[in-house]
């Protein structure tokens, strides 16, 4: 069978469900935002309404902001992070988790992830702790909530603050608890590919309303709610969300539960099909995970089975077959963004790679599929598995002796 990349017939000639999904509800919401005559959150009502609705859904008090990276930066500002403070982050995560720490003047300390869930490994935390460790940021990778009980217990023992990166975890539930029920700050993203989106946007979820006024001021150039005299209480930036984004996100939130249910159902089908392909290992699931919204459908190649398969070529071949596939994030310490931290007593790439073997494996051998593949049918999932088996079979055929 000839790969589409080599001129053959692709497995799929039609696309998966479109993302972002939208219909007349978004159009009506945007018109509503325009017609209210106030397009700034201070005078309008869409962002404020969205904050109330999102907070009720996730179990906390919400402050809407410009994007998920800014939500992380604002959260660290609220926590009082100071230059030189160390923040434990997963070695395997999107770079925003790490660079938000750098931009706040802190030092991100990459720690390995669990080989099954891809979330921060609680067993690896103690070895990374120093007297300067101030915060730990567990990332709910691809929507799977990290082991917050173990991470929280470790943090409590050592006076470390937990700050959740929930950019992938809209609507996620673990042991009956939503993201906001864990009693910590949490940052969400509404970037174009996320589970609900306004193209860009983010939110900082507060465990209670106690610090909302302070958070509001810090996201608005230090100006408190209702300020009319240019009172700037802190040297903060402008992270305010527009009324248009707030209006769209209210509609997107209204579809979240139904879409999460569909993704959960399709993931059972897809992951079972992927496990039938030798050497393909899908992301696992902690038994305490009640609901994983599946921002990404993730898997990795077993190096003992597919040692000679080029992961990047695999992804290119899948895309040619009509599958929306992507390479995994590299470990954060393998990016130029992190390079400025190396030296002055901080470990280099080789040492960090030795400390983080799972992140090394996922960064080099892992791939993911856009969550829209899970918004289709079981037949769509079968096409994904067929395409992956086709590409791997072709790779194996190239290794056979003449």
In Å, how far from its chain's centre is CA 22? 21
Does 3 map to a domain? Answer: no
Domain boundary among 222, 252, 282: 252
Does 169 map to a domain? Answer: yes
Domain shared by 383 and 269, yes or no: yes
Provide the 3-class DSSP secondary structure of residue 86.
Answer: strand
The residue annotated as part of the active site, out of 223, 355, 361, 390, is 223
Domain shared by 177 and 245, yes or no: yes
Domain shared by 273 and 351, yes or no: yes
Domain shared by 166 and 276, yes or no: no
Specify the CATH number for the domain of residue 188: 3.40.640.10
Residue 131 and residue 343: Cα distance in Å, rounded? 19
Does 2 map to a domain? Answer: no
Residue 256 and residue 50: Cα distance in Å, rounded? 14
Does 10 map to a domain? Answer: no
Domain boundary among 222, 237, 252: 252
Query: What one-character DSSP code corresponds to residue 143?
Result: G
The residue annotated as part of the active site, out of 168, 170, 250, 372, is 168
Domain shared by 85 and 148, yes or no: yes
Residue 103 and residue 101: Cα distance in Å, rounded? 5
pTM to 2 decimal places: 0.96
The two three-digit tokens of residue 328, written as one number = 């995994």
Can you give the pLDDT at residue 49? 98
Domain shared by 163 and 312, yes or no: no
Q: In what order do the strands lie in the sheet with 280-282?
A: 280-282, 296-301, 366-370, 325-327
Provide the 3-class DSSP secondary structure of residue 297.
Answer: strand
Does 5 map to a domain? Answer: no
Annotation says 223 is catalytic: yes
Annotation says 310 is catalytic: no
The residue annotated as part of the active site, out of 144, 240, 250, 355, is 240
Number of domains in the chain: 2
Annotation says 94 is catalytic: yes
Closest of 165, 145, 162 to residue 153, by C-alpha:
162
Does 7 map to a domain? Answer: no
Can you give the pLDDT at residue 225? 93
Domain boundary among 252, 267, 294: 252
Does 284 map to a domain? Answer: yes
Instruction: Name the one residue in this structure whose structure tokens are 């400390």.
Output: 355
Residue 109 and residue 331: Cα distance in Å, rounded? 12
The residue annotated as part of the active site, out of 230, 308, 350, 400, is 230
Q: Based on the number of CB atoms within 10 Å of its own CB, is 54 exposed (0-12), middle (13-18) or buried (19 or more)? A: buried
Domain shared by 219 and 328, yes or no: no
Can you give the pLDDT at residue 402? 44
Closest of 290, 370, 379 to residue 325, by C-alpha:
370
Domain shared by 230 and 85, yes or no: yes
Domain shared by 95 and 210, yes or no: yes
Residue 74 and residue 72: Cα distance in Å, rounded? 5
Domain shared by 233 and 284, yes or no: no
Can you give the pLDDT at residue 324? 97
CB of 78 closer than 8 Å to CB of 215 = yes
Domain shared by 235 and 338, yes or no: no
Annotation says 191 is catalytic: yes
Q: Based on the number of CB atoms within 10 Å of its own CB, is 222 exposed (0-12), middle (13-18) or buried (19 or more)? A: middle
Specify the CATH number for the domain of residue 268: 3.90.1150.10
Residue 72 and residue 139: Cα distance in Å, rounded? 11
Provide the 3-class DSSP secondary structure of residue 107.
Answer: strand
The two three-digit tokens of residue 257, written as one number = 């539960």
Residues linked to residue 376 through DSSP beta bridges, in sequence order: none
Annotation says 168 is catalytic: yes
Taking the chain (402 residues) in runs of 10, the rounded mean pLDDT of each run is 93 94 98 95 96 98 98 98 97 98 96 98 98 98 98 98 98 98 98 98 96 96 93 96 98 98 98 98 98 98 95 98 98 94 86 97 98 97 97 80 46
3-state helix, strand, coil in the chain (%, to 5): 45, 15, 40
Can you give the pLDDT at residue 345? 77
CB of 261 closer than 8 Å to CB of 375 = no
The residue annotated as part of the active site, out of 58, 174, 194, 338, is 194
Domain shared by 235 and 260, yes or no: no
The residue annotated as part of the active site, out of 94, 118, 295, 367, is 94
Can you give the pLDDT at residue 346? 83
Q: Residue 56 belongs to what domain range?
A: 24-252
Annotation says 230 is catalytic: yes
CB of 217 closer than 8 Å to CB of 225 = yes
Does 35 map to a domain? Answer: yes
């Amino acid at each position: 069978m000839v790969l589409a990349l080599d001129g053959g017939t692709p497995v799929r000639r039609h696309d998966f469900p479109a993302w972002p999904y939208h219909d007349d509800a978004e159009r009506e919401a945007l018109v509503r935002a325009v017609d209210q005559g106030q397009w700034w959150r201070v005078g309008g009502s869409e962002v404020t309404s969205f904050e109330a609705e999102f907070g009720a859904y996730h179990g906390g008090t919400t402050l809407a902001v410009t994007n998920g990276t800014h939500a992380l930066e604002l959260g660290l500002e609220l926590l009082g992070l100071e230059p030189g403070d160390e923040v434990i982050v997963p070695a395997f995560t999107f770079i925003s988790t790490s660079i938000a720490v750098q931009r706040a003047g802190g030092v991100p300390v990459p720690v390995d992830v669990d080989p099954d869930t891809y979330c921060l490994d609680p067993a690896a935390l103690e070895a990374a702790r120093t007297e300067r460790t101030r915060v730990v940021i567990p990332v709910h990778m691809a929507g799977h909530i990290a082991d917050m009980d173990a991470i929280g217990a470790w943090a409590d023992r050592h006076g470390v603050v937990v700050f959740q990166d929930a950019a992938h975890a809209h609507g996620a539930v673990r042991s009956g608890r939503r993201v906001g029920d864990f009693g910590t700050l949490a940052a969400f993203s509404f970037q174009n590919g996320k589970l609900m989106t306004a193209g860009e946007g983010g939110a900082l979820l507060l465990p209670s309303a106690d610090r909302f006024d302070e958070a509001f001021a810090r996201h608005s150039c230090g100006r408190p709610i209702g300020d009319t005299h240019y009172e700037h209480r802190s040297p903060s930036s402008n992270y305010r969300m527009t009324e248009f984004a707030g209006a769209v996100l209210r509609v997107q939130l209204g579809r979240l539960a139904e879409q999460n249910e569909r993704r959960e159902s399709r993931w059972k089908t897809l992951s079972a099909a992927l496990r039938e392909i030798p050497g393909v290992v899908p992301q696992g699931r902690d038994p305490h995970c009640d609901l994983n919204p599946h921002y990404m459908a993730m898997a990795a190649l077993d190096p003992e089975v597919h040692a000679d398969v080029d992961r990047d070529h695999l992804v290119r071949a899948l895309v040619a077959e009509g599958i929306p596939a992507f390479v995994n994030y590299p470990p954060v310490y393998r990016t130029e963004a992190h390079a400025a931290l190396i030296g002055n007593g901080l470990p280099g790439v080789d040492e960090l790679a030795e400390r983080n073997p799972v992140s090394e494996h996922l960064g080099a051998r892992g791939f993911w599929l856009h969550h829209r593949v899970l918004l289709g049918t079981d037949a769509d999932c079968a096409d994904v598995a067929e395409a992956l088996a086709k590409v791997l079979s072709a790779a194996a055929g190239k290794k056979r002796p003449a």
